Structure 1
Amino acid sequence: MNLRTILILGALTAFGPLAIDFYLPAFPSMALAFGTDEKHVQMTLAAYFLGLSIGQLGYGPMADRFGRRIPLLAGLGLFTVASLACAYAPNLEWLIGARFVQALGGCAGMVIARAVVSDKCDAVGSAKVYSQLMLVMGLAPILAPMLGGLLVNTAGWQWIFLTLTGFSALAALAVALGLPESLPDYVPRQPLSGALRQYGRLLKDQVFLGHALTGGIAIAGMFAYIAGSPFVFIKLYGVPPEHFGWLFGTNAAGFILMAQINARLLAKRGPAFLLARAVWLYVAGGLVLLAVSSLHTTQLWPLLIPLFICIASLGCIAPNASACAMNGQGARAGSASALLGCLQFSVAAGASALVGVLHDGTAMPMAMVISLCGVLVVSVAILTRRLQNTRALAHAEA
């Protein structure tokens, strides 16, 4: 896969995180503008997660029926229009609705990017490309909060969504000019009428479901961090909004670094092997974070170390879990990618909402949700590994 394609796919994969990370420093300003508190502003985040999870289910069957380009361009167009609606939202209810529609458009890039990789690569090759995409995608959480904080302080929170409008328009142009159709002509087009049956078969595939949930629950912990960090960093520990991005970006840098280490390790070990070990690093970081949070420290740095470990480990967990889930999906790659994303962001929406529900003015709600995700990730990964070994043994005996 050439560099141009990887860059375009990286930008498409970054759509979901970018539309989240970019506006996090604006939470206090938006709460003030709409005459509410940050707990209610967090509903815009939960609405976005909900849109990401629901929307992906539609793009998967469309990508298998019409190819990758047409649904992708339609989604980018919807994201552009919805971003403008967010920028000119007259009240919080309007913004919540516009964020939901924005997510319906943005998730097209996430679904179809995974399908394109599956079209072109095998399991190990897919894991390597996913790791490379993490490098491109990882720049979003580094740069977006810093630029978002700058825009909030100089021009107002509306300019965050105007900038997203311009970015999506440029992405649509890049797809139109530089991303050819990847679904081969010899692959049979899957009818839309069979979408539910296809999803049913995927849900019955316990190994696929296990890998999807392993990655999804781990990512849910990251989104619990995303939902809780603006309050913890800015309000609880007094970090200025314009400096929020530096802390956020440090964790994103760990994510990128681990993804690149993972790409190199794949030359010697398969994605399933690396996934089974990375989950233990994640749960260790989560449990330490919970212990530190329970002490209610007056300094921020003790929280930052276990947070860094948790987010960095995702650079290994996310690409390997996706590669294992997508391995061998063939003609139903679009539907598999959609269901994978739906499961991931459904769990993420629940985790981010739970942080808001448990909000008590401390870092404990964020830490509790992250540590819970860590314990569940390890449990699901162990069970999936056993199922995979049992299936391999049955095939060998047959």
Structure 2
Amino acid sequence: MNTSTETPLTEQVTGVIKQNWNIFFLAILIVSMGQLSLGLIFPLLPWIQKDFSINQSLAESLIVSYLIGYGPSQLFYGPLSYVYGRRRVLLIGLFLSILGLGLLLYFHDCFDLLILARFIQGIGGGCESVIARAMLHDSYKNKFFLSAMTGLSIVSAFTPIFSPIVGGLVNHHFGWLAVFIGLFVYSALGYLVLVFYLPETLSKLRASIPVIPIFNYYYALLKDRYFLSYTVIGWINWALVIFSGSLAPFVLEDQLHLTSENYAYWSIVPAIAFLLASWLCFVLRKSYGTHHIVFIAPVIQLTVVVIFLLFPLTLFTVTLGFIGIAIAQALIYPCSQSLLLVPYSNKFGTVSALSGAGQMVFAAIFIFIAWRVHLDNVHALAMIVFITAILGLALAIIGKKSVASASLENG
């Protein structure tokens, strides 16, 4: 597990690209479809709220309904892909997701049907992350697997931070419906690429789905301190990114009076910070090891809390705080995911499905509760960042002292 931390960065990157480079980039394409379905929507929320004359909490249901559909469906896509193959299950799921987008475009003037269409899109999209990770596990059976997983995790975390740039600009010039049209076109073109170029990566299919052993293994994982430590770190930090991403347009456009175009340009700053921090993550892994990096992010997050609470609400302080959130996410998310998944390599699909399902459901519940209790300002965000930092630090300590104990015979 520590091999990649001892391998030079250039060798890690070239090794991942040389070995099954097509699978790696197709996995990035697959994951990007789901992440764009979140990140592109954040800057649209204030405008959808105004067009339908609804409150801020109801506008957020476009995010929540997608996550509720996306999360639990992963528990089924993972096991099904072992029986019917990664390719077939992925293409069916993506078709359902594109169908949901099509329904959204057709019924774009009815908000209730928008929510239903987003839910259907989420159910189909649940195949993306879990099967993309499983494809990498099928294809990288050596020291470069951890690097490939880290790269995919960086893309997963970066896309919701980067995509508001595109969503904001398109919304400013063409309206929010044009963003969904663009997402539909991108997903459809990506689907065609996968139809023609994605091979089956699973070498041997199973005859049936061992339902009872799978759920027994889920139960074993939920009692495993190592699994819980690093998966919950991923959950709370992902929820923080989704919440801060959905809050940002309301703070910047409604409270600081930025236009949607200027908001899009503002989004470039945390995106660049994330990219630089992702490079730093690779460097620090080589010098200090993956375990130690997860301790750095909480310190950065506590600094963000100080900025939000002690300084007045200005564009500069908000930008500085969001830069800190982006840097912390770039460091902690890929490392926590790598530490989570590698020890359970023999049950990778099951572990990935449970972790991914919990991540999306947790984020959906968290956002729903946050908006219900009116956590809709920078001070509320500071409180959430503080809780995330303290929990992350505690869980990192527990994880470092724990061993992955879930029995491999249970699944």
Range of TM-score over shorter length: 0.7 to 0.9
Distance 1:6 1:126 in 2: 10
**Structure 2 match to 1:211:** 230
Worse overlay, 300-309 or 189-198: 189-198
Distance 1:257 1:85 in 2: 38
**Structure 1 match to 2:25:** 7
CA contact (8 A) 2:72 2:358 kept: no
Query: Is 1:37 matched up with 2:55?
Result: yes
Alignment CA distance shift 1:175-1:205 (3 Å): farther
Alignment CA distance shift 1:360-1:177 (3 Å): closer
Any idea what SS the aligned residue of 2:402 has?
helix
Distance 2:232 2:208 in 1: 25
Distance 1:298 1:247 in 2: 16
Alignment CA distance shift 1:12-1:204 (3 Å): same
**Structure 2 match to 1:326:** 341
Any idea what SS the aligned residue of 1:167 has?
helix
Alignment of 1:61-210 (within 5 A): 61-87=79-105, 88-121=107-140, 125-133=144-152, 136-137=155-156, 140-141=159-160, 144-185=163-204, 191-194=209-212, 195-210=214-229
Alignment CA distance shift 1:18-1:248 (3 Å): same
Distance 1:361 1:209 in 2: 29
> Cα distance, 1:296 vs. partner?
6.7
**Structure 2 match to 1:303:** 318
Any idea what SS the aligned residue of 1:359 has?
coil
Alignment CA distance shift 1:286-1:274 (3 Å): closer
Which of 384, 388, 396 aligns to 1:381? It is 396
For residues 174-201 of structure 1, give each alpha carbon's deviation from its aligned partner in whole angstroms, at most 9, with x where no partner exists.
222222222232x756615233223223
Worse overlay, 361-370 or 120-129: 120-129
> Cα distance, 1:137 vs. partner?
4.8
Distance 1:190 1:43 in 2: 37
- State percent identity of aligned pairs: 24
**Structure 1 match to 2:42:** 24
Consecutive aligned runs of 4 or more in structure 1 exceeding 6 Å deviation: none
CA contact (8 A) 1:126 1:323 kept: no
Aligned residues: 385
* Unmatched 5+ stretches in structure 1: 392-398
Give the TM-score taking structure 2 as reference length. 0.85
Alignment CA distance shift 1:3-1:257 (3 Å): farther
For residues 118-153 of structure 1, give each alpha carbon's deviation from its aligned partner in whole angstroms, at most 9, with x where no partner exists.
223368633311333356556634653233223323
Distance 1:23 1:295 in 2: 31
Any idea what SS the aligned residue of 2:53 has?
coil
Worse overlay, 218-227 or 297-306: 297-306
Distance 2:277 2:141 in 1: 21
CA contact (8 A) 2:274 2:327 kept: yes
Code of the aligned partner of 2:100: A
CA contact (8 A) 2:161 2:245 kept: no
Alignment of 1:236-385 (within 5 A): 236-275=255-294, 277-278=295-296, 281=297, 283-295=298-310, 297-359=312-374, 362-385=377-400
How large is the Cα RMSD of the aligned pairs? Answer: 2.5
For residues 93-116 of structure 1, give each alpha carbon's deviation from its aligned partner in whole angstroms, at most 9, with x where no partner exists.
211121111111122111111112
> Cα distance, 1:259 vs. partner?
2.2
**Structure 1 match to 2:5:** none
> Cα distance, 1:74 vs. partner?
1.0
For residues 322-344 of structure 1, give each alpha carbon's deviation from its aligned partner in whole angstroms, at most 9, with x where no partner exists.
12221143453222111111122
Alignment CA distance shift 1:123-1:322 (3 Å): farther
Alignment CA distance shift 1:58-1:361 (3 Å): closer
> Cα distance, 1:78 vs. partner?
0.9
Code of the aligned partner of 2:32: A
> Cα distance, 1:72 vs. partner?
0.8
> Cα distance, 1:83 vs. partner?
0.8
CA contact (8 A) 1:82 1:102 kept: yes
Any idea what SS the aligned residue of 1:239 has?
coil
Alignment CA distance shift 1:133-1:155 (3 Å): same
CA contact (8 A) 1:21 1:141 kept: yes
Alignment CA distance shift 1:381-1:53 (3 Å): same
Give the TM-score taking structure 1 as reference length. 0.88
CA contact (8 A) 1:225 1:370 kept: no
> Cα distance, 1:372 vs. partner?
1.3
Distance 1:298 1:222 in 2: 20
